[in-house]
Amino acid sequence: DAKTTQPPSMDCAEGRAANLPCNHSTISGNEYVYWYRQIHSQGPQYIIHGLKNNETNEMASLIITEDRKSSTLILPHATLRDTAVYYCIVLNAGNNRKLIWGLGTSLAVNP
Partner 1 sequence: NAGVTQTPKFRILKIGQSMTLQCTQDMNHNYMYWYRQDPGMGLKLIYYSVGAGITDKGEVPNGYNVSRSTTEDFPLRLELAAPSQTSVYFCASSYRASTTDTQYFGPGTRLTVL
Residue 72's nearest CA partner among 19, 27, 25, 34 is: 19
From the CB of 27, what's the least distance to partner 1, in Å?
16
Residue whose CB is less far from partner 1, 41 or 111:
41
Give the integer Cα–Cα distance in Å for 37 and 68.
Answer: 21
Compare residues 3 and 77 and give the one whose CB is closer to partner 1.
Answer: 3
Q: Which is nearer to partner 1, 2 or 14 (CB)?
A: 2
CA 70, chain centre distance (Å): 11
> For binding to partner 1 (CB under 8 A), which residues are involved?
32, 34, 36, 41-46, 49, 51, 87, 91, 93, 97-99, 101-104
